[in-house]
């Protein structure tokens, strides 16, 4: 009877093994989570670099077929992209600096106009002189807010330096991925069975062709959008029409999903300070043009550059 009782109360042999496996699984999950947290930024840089490398490889191949070394061709294309990006940032920086300077010089007039607009439109009972005095007051809410943001200027500088380092890393990875693209493909295919190699090469070539076609179509749409918005902004009389047109054209095409909203916010903000009526015209043109682009211009250009059916390009 004692033997039977001991056998009934003894721990099953699978329980220690299950406990060990449970702890191993828990420790493995914690380790993988820690590795993912540490490597996520690096992996994201690699993915972005691979995407850019696929986009510029058609241009690298064309220059290489004309006798230029792949490294030189890749460096030339990346230098062109960098020049365009720096030029865009310089134009927008000059625009922001000019508008900030103009806002500071004509602050009292802008405050008076805004207060008058609020009083006439919404029935507010504001005094422009009191608002100006509140802005000038060293202990006023405006000055307190500006003083509270002083520490963030240092954080902004550190963030800008970190972003610059990340951009340099992306350019470096992109250069090697694009310049040594054929060698990279051969290395990957050498690990695969012969019947798999053809499939991998076909998928790679398709990715290069479609990625390059997508970005080239976006670039063409950005040029068209910038040109038409420049004409409209010039006719409406917005401040800095060329810079605002470039902003709308580039941001609306290369920022997914929310690009048009971010792109349209800046010209609306700068125009409404000058004239709310002009801002309504700007809003109307942006909305109308976006519909024309979505239904007429973009499907044709996308279908041609990416070699897609017009219905697929429209979707």
Percent of the chain with pLDDT over 70: 92
The per-residue pLDDT for 202 is 87
Asked whether residue 78 is assigned to any structural domain, the reply reads yes
The per-residue pLDDT for 312 is 52
Beta-carbon count within 10 A of 236 CB: 19
Q: How far apart are CA 50 and CA 255, in angstroms?
A: 18
- The more confident residue out of 104 and 186 is 186
Q: Which domain holds residue 103?
A: 14-179
81 Cβ neighbours under 8 A, 6+ residues apart: 56
Q: How far apart are CA 80 and CA 73, in angstroms?
A: 11
Q: How far apart are CA 74 and CA 87, in angstroms?
A: 20
Q: How confident is the model at residue 1 (pLDDT cuts 50, 70, 90)?
A: very low
175 Cβ neighbours under 8 A, 6+ residues apart: 71, 74, 75, 78
Mean pLDDT of 147-165: 78
- The more confident residue out of 312 and 196 is 196
Domain end, chosen from 154, 179, 204, is at: 179
- Residue range 78-122, pLDDT digits in tens: 999 999 999 998 988 888 888 878 877 887 887 887 788 788 878
Asked whether residue 4 is assigned to any structural domain, the reply reads no
Residues 159 and 223 placed together within one structural domain of the fold: no
Residues 153 and 30 placed together within one structural domain of the fold: yes
For residue 141, CA distances in Å to 113, 125, 145 come to 21, 20, 6
Q: How far apart are CA 152 and CA 286, in angstroms?
A: 34
Asked whether residue 9 is assigned to any structural domain, the reply reads no
Q: How far apart are CA 171 and CA 182, in angstroms?
A: 19
Mean pLDDT of 130-153: 74
Percent of the chain with pLDDT over 90: 36
The domain total for the chain is 2
The per-residue pLDDT for 6 is 54
Q: How confident is the model at residue 173 (pLDDT cuts 50, 70, 90)?
A: very high
Asked whether residue 118 is assigned to any structural domain, the reply reads yes
- Residue range 111-135, pLDDT digits in tens: 887 788 788 878 778 888 888 887 7
Residues 75 and 159 placed together within one structural domain of the fold: yes
- Residue range 212-225, pLDDT digits in tens: 888 889 999 999 99
Q: What is the pTM (predicted TM-score) of this model?
A: 0.74
Asked whether residue 6 is assigned to any structural domain, the reply reads no
275 Cβ neighbours under 8 A, 6+ residues apart: 237
């Amino acid at each position: 009877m004692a033997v039977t009782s001991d056998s009934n109360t003894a721990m099953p042999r699978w329980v220690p093994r299950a406990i060990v496996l449970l702890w191993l699984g828990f420790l493995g999950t914690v380790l993988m989570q820690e590795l993912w947290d540490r490597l996520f930024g690096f992996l994201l840089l690699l993915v972005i670099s691979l995407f850019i490398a696929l986009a510029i490889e058609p241009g690298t191949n064309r220059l290489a077929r004309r006798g230029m070394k792949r490294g030189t061709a890749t460096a030339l294309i990346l230098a062109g992209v960098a020049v365009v990006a720096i030029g865009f940032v310089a134009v927008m920086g000059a625009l922001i600096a000019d508008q900030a300077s103009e806002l500071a010089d004509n602050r009292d007039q802008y405050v008076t106009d805004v207060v008058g607009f609020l009083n006439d439109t919404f029935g507010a009972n504001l005094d422009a002189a009191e608002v100006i005095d509140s802005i000038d007051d060293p202990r006023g809410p405006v000055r307190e807010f500006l003083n509270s943001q002083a520490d963030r200027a240092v954080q902004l500088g550190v963030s800008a330096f970190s972003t610059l380092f990340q951009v340099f890393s992306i350019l470096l990875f992109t250069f090697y991925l694009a310049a040594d693209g054929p060698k990279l493909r051969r290395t990957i295919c050498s690990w695969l069975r012969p019947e798999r190699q053809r499939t991998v090469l076909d998928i790679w070539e398709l990715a290069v062709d479609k990625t390059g076609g997508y970005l080239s179509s976006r670039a063409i749409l950005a040029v068209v959008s910038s040109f038409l918005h420049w004409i409209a902004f010039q006719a409406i009389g917005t401040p800095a029409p060329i810079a605002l047109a470039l902003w709308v054209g580039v941001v609306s095409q290369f920022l997914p999903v929310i690009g048009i909203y971010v792109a349209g916010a800046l010209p609306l903000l700068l125009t409404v300070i000058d004239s709310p009526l002009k801002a309504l015209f700007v809003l109307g043109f942006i909305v109308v043009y976006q519909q024309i682009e979505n239904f007429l211009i973009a499907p044709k250009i996308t279908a041609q550059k990416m070699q897609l059916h017009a219905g697929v390009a429209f979707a």
